[in-house]
């Protein structure tokens, strides 16, 4: 498919075009950028929801039920499920979709599995662009599920407007919940597998930690209980998701600040990425990297100072 065809297809909501576009933004920076540049003005409508939490908490199963609920309300939905790439083999087993397969034939739902490709933080580098494609394609709600290591999925902030942290009772010491970042980023906490007997304790533990928080926030994160396997608690969760969306709409200052910080993160990251490509290419071609590597191995200079030296010279020339 030609790029122009793909762009037209995306704006028409065509699934094949969406699929091709996501592959291109994953693999081909130049063509990918053409697509994003064209569709960017048509983004900004979707409600983007990030879900993170430990592996085994039930995120994928929960997402399947959330999608069904939105579909009951006639909303169209996109799902991006990110799983880790093996740092040793470069391969990945993308197994989140298994829980959502019955949705495959719903024409209003688009599900895509992405491998993290060793990008840090829980998302894949191309996830933000994949979200833009789904947004421009007209999906009302986009759910992004991140790699389930549970402790450092802060990257989900940079793409989502509403962040849901999913817990399950018995996944370990509740102290897990206090680990840096997870408590602070959640707009909504979900305790899934709430049919287990220590579920109420988990809810109380989270509420207790929230009360200790010093952060001033007009939006008070709630703690909801769900049983993803049966769908219990999901309508209430979707209500809460919509409530957060409304809160953002009614507080344009908050929404603007949120969108601004998301955009700023992305801009800075793009600058870093492009700068690195340009400068490192040059340095490699000029043989400068090798020279400094020899000196580092001889312990004549440390890597950080070596980088400074290289950059000073490079920037002076320009």
Partner 1 sequence: MQEKAKIRVLIAKPGLDSHDRGAKVVARALRDAGMEVIYTGLRQTPEQIAETALQEDVDVLGLSILSGAHKTLFPRIMNLLRKKGLTDIMVFAGGIIPEEDVAEMKKLGIEQIFGPGTTTDAIIKYVFDNVRKRD
Alpha-carbon distance 235 to 312, whole Å?
57
Q: Which stretch binds partner 1 (CB under 8 A): 11-19, 135-143, 231-239, 305-313?
A: 11-19
Contacts to partner 1 from residues 89-148, by CB under 8 A: 89-95, 97-98, 101-102, 104-105, 110-113, 115, 117
Rounded Cα–Cα distance for residues 273 and 105 (Å): 38
At closest approach, how far in Å is the CB of 137 from partner 1? 12
**Which residues ranging from 243 to 262 are in contact with partner 1 (CB under 8 A)?**
none
* Cα–Cα distance, 172 to 48 (Å, whole number): 29
Sign (positive or negative) of CA dihedral 109, 27, 261, 253: negative
Report d(CA 185, CA 296) in Å as an integer.
40
How far is Cα 226 from Cα 190, in angstroms, rounded to an integer? 7
Does 86 sit near partner 1 (CB under 8 A)?
yes
155/50 Cα distance (integer angstroms): 10
Q: Between 29 and 181, whose beta carbon lies closer to partner 1?
A: 29
Q: Which stretch binds partner 1 (CB under 8 A): 63-71, 248-256, 270-278, 304-312?
A: 270-278
Q: How many Å apart are CA 218 and CA 240, to the nearest integer? A: 15
Candidate residues 8, 15, 179, 256; the one interacting with partner 1 per rule CB under 8 A: 15
In 199-252, beta strands by DSSP E: 222-225
Q: Which is nearer to partner 1, 278 or 293 (CB)?
A: 278
Is residue 28 near partner 1 by the rule CB under 8 A?
yes
Exposed, middle or buried by CB within 10 Å (0-12, 13-18, 19+), for 247?
Answer: middle
CB of 278 vs partner 1, minimal distance in Å: 11
Task: Characterize 27-56 residue by residue with b for buried, 16 or more Cβ atoms within 10 angstroms of its Cβ, and e for exposed.
Answer: eeeeebebbbebbeeebeebbbbbbbbbee
Q: Which is nearer to partner 1, 107 or 197 (CB)?
A: 107
Residue 114 or 206 having the CB closest to partner 1:
114
The stretch near partner 1 (CB under 8 A) out of 17-25, 152-160, 212-220, 248-256 is 17-25
* Shortest Å, Cβ 41 to partner 1: 25
| Residue 252 near residue 221 (C-beta atoms within 8 A) | no
Is 47 or 112 the residue whose CB approaches partner 1 more closely? 112
What's the closest the beta carbon of residue 301 comes to partner 1, in angstroms?
Answer: 25
Stretch that binds partner 1, among 43-51, 88-96, 247-255, 306-314 (CB under 8 A): 88-96
Q: Nearest approach, Cβ of 141 to partner 1 (angstroms)? A: 17
Question: Rounded to a whole number, what is the largest CA-CA distance in the chain?
Answer: 67
Give yes or no for a contact between 131 and 81, defined as CB atoms under 8 angstroms apart. Answer: no
CA distance 174 to 172: 6
234 lies in the site for partner 1, by CB under 8 A: no
The size of the interface with partner 1 (CB under 8 A), counted in residues, is: 36
Residue numbers at the binding site for partner 1 (CB under 8 A): 1, 15-16, 18-20, 22-23, 26-29, 85-86, 89-95, 97-98, 101-102, 104-105, 110-113, 115, 117, 273, 276-277
């Amino acid at each position: 498919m030609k790029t122009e065809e793909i762009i037209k297809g995306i704006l028409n909501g065509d699934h094949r075009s969406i699929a091709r576009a996501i592959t291109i933004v994953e693999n081909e920076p130049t063509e990918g950028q053409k697509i994003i540049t064209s569709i960017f003005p048509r983004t900004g409508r979707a409600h983007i929801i990030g879900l993170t939490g430990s592996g085994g908490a039930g995120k994928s199963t929960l997402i399947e039920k959330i999608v069904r609920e939105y579909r009951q309300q006639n909303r169209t939905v996109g799902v991006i499920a990110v799983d880790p790439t093996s740092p040793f083999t470069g391969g990945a087993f993308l197994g989140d979709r298994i829980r959502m397969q019955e949705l495959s034939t719903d024409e209003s739902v688009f599900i895509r599995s992405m491998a993290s490709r060793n990008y840090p933080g829980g998302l894949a580098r191309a996830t933000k662009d994949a979200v833009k494609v789904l947004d421009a394609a007209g999906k009302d709600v986009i759910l992004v599920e991140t790699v389930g290591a549970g402790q450092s999925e802060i990257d989900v902030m940079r793409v989502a407007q509403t962040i849901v942290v999913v817990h399950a009772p018995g996944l370990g010491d509740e102290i897990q919940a206090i680990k840096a970042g997870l408590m602070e980023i959640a707009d909504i906490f979900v305790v899934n597998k709430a049919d287990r007997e220590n579920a109420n304790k988990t809810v109380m533990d989270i509420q207790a930690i929230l009360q200790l928080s010093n952060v001033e926030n007009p939006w008070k994160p709630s703690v909801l209980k769900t049983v993803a396997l049966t769908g219990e608690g999901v309508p209430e969760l979707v209500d809460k998701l919509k409530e957060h969306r409304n809160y953002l709409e009614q507080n344009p200052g908050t929404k603007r600040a949120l969108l601004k910080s998301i955009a700023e993160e992305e801009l800075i990251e793009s600058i870093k990425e492009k700068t690195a490509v340009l400068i490192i290419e040059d340095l490699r071609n000029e043989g400068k990297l090798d020279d400094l590597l020899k000196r580092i191995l001889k312990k004549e200079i440390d890597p950080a100072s070596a980088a400074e030296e290289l950059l000073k010279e490079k920037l002076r020339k320009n």
